[in-house]
Amino acid sequence: MSEYQYYEFQAIDRPLTEEEQRAVTELSSRVATHPRRAVFTYSFGGSLRRRPEDLLADYYDAMLYLANWGSRQLMFRFPKTLVDVAEMQQYEVVTREVASDAVAAYTRDEHAILDIQLHEEEGLGWVEGEGWLDSLVSLRDAILQRDYRLLYLAWLKGVTLEYDVDEQAPEPPVPPGLRTLPLALENFVELFDLDEDLIQAAAERSGEWKRTTSEDELRQAIEKLTAEEQDRFLLRLAKGEPHLTLALNRRLSALAGLDVPPGDATLRRTVGELFAAAKALRQRRSQEQKARAEARRVAELKALAEREDETWREVDALIQQSQAKPYDQAVQLLKNLRDLARYQDCEAVFEGHMRELCDLYSRRHALMRRLRGAGLVEQ
């Protein structure tokens, strides 16, 4: 398999200037100049001339990196004043010795950076990068709204990849809404190959999605804004500041006493307890699948019992054709009849039928070879 690396960057809050576009274009002759997007693809060696973290911090708001050997990286840049980096850092993966880079949140100049790096040691096969970032980019807005489901899921994946993860470490605050994921998070789960059982186990402590602030609550909070604050918000609106609605609503929530930390930080489970819960879910599902399969098998055997004599006649008719395909069909029917005999506890009767059949068709070597291969007669 040839090497494949895909980098995509998107500018969301503002387009790049012409000077910034020229600076990005100088990194590769294959990247097209665009005020909001840059894509770098490497199929036969080579790599990006700048660290993707630096390129994101300087120009862009979102970045996705994919490599066919199993590396996945998703990064978002935020205005530093609009996110709580300390809250995001609660979702970093704790290991016993080596620091993990699975989830990292930090500040850089006037920005905050979220960096999710998940590397599958055995790879994930070939994944074309085109279109994936578009399907994930709304997760940036979710984090700006203090929806930390992405962070929790990234932590959940991270603890499955670290060989020296501390299984006694507690989980981070469990955000609400893990039982029903929006499409963007479903895309994240698919691309980063999360364990569905682990998600289901984690979701058992996840509450309902948070309510929205009512209009009455907003009106009451607006009345608490000072005239100076109102003037400042109007001036920022006139300047076209990105995310001003978010900043205003966050201020109003604080005034209304509704600005509470997202996620349940009480009764935290350990990593080991989550692993055990996911294992129990897998075992229960396996048992349920086996029970359903057994119920289907019993139903099929009961139906076969009602036409057992007819089936023996069908076996004989198929053998009479002396052809490979009818032989195979006859052997399958005989295996079904053997299962029926075992279910009815009358294997001696079945074995008597088989002796008669073998005596009758002993010279049909192709048939006898098939019967021996299926374990229907002795070698």
Largest CA distance in the chain: 105
User: How do the pLDDT tens digits run along the chain, 379 residues long?
Assistant: 568 889 999 999 999 999 999 999 988 877 877 899 999 988 876 778 889 999 999 999 999 999 888 889 999 999 998 999 999 999 999 887 777 889 999 999 999 999 999 887 666 566 777 889 999 999 999 999 899 999 999 999 999 987 788 889 899 999 999 999 999 999 999 999 999 999 999 999 898 876 666 778 778 778 888 888 888 888 888 888 887 877 777 777 777 766 666 766 667 899 999 999 999 999 999 999 999 999 999 999 999 999 999 999 999 999 999 999 999 999 999 999 999 999 999 999 999 999 999 999 989 999 999 999 999 987 6
Phi/psi for 26 (5° steps) reads: -65, -15
Distance CA 64, CA 137 (A): 10
Q: DSSP for 155-190?
A: HHHHHHH-TTB-TTSBP--B-TT-SS--HHHHHHHH
Q: Residue 171's pLDDT is what?
A: 94
CA 3 and chain centroid, separation: 23
Q: Residue 260's pLDDT is what?
A: 62
CA 329 and chain centroid, separation: 42
Q: Is residue 303 classed as helix, strand or coil in its secondary structure?
A: helix
Q: Which position has the token pair 């001003």?
A: 244
Q: Residue 379's pLDDT is what?
A: 66
Q: Residue 159's pLDDT is what?
A: 92
Tokens describing residue 309: 């004599």
Q: Residue 4's pLDDT is what?
A: 84
Nearest to 187 by CA among 147, 148, 136: 136
Alpha helices in 204-270 (DSSP H): 215-223, 227-238, 244-255
Distance CA 108, CA 248 (A): 24
What is the CB neighbour count within 10 angstroms for residue 378? 7
The rounded radius of gyration (Å) of the Cα atoms in the chain is 31
- Report the predicted TM-score, pTM, of the whole model to 2 decimal places: 0.77
Nearest to 61 by CA among 102, 113, 5: 113
What kind and span of H or E run contains 53?
Answer: helix 52-59
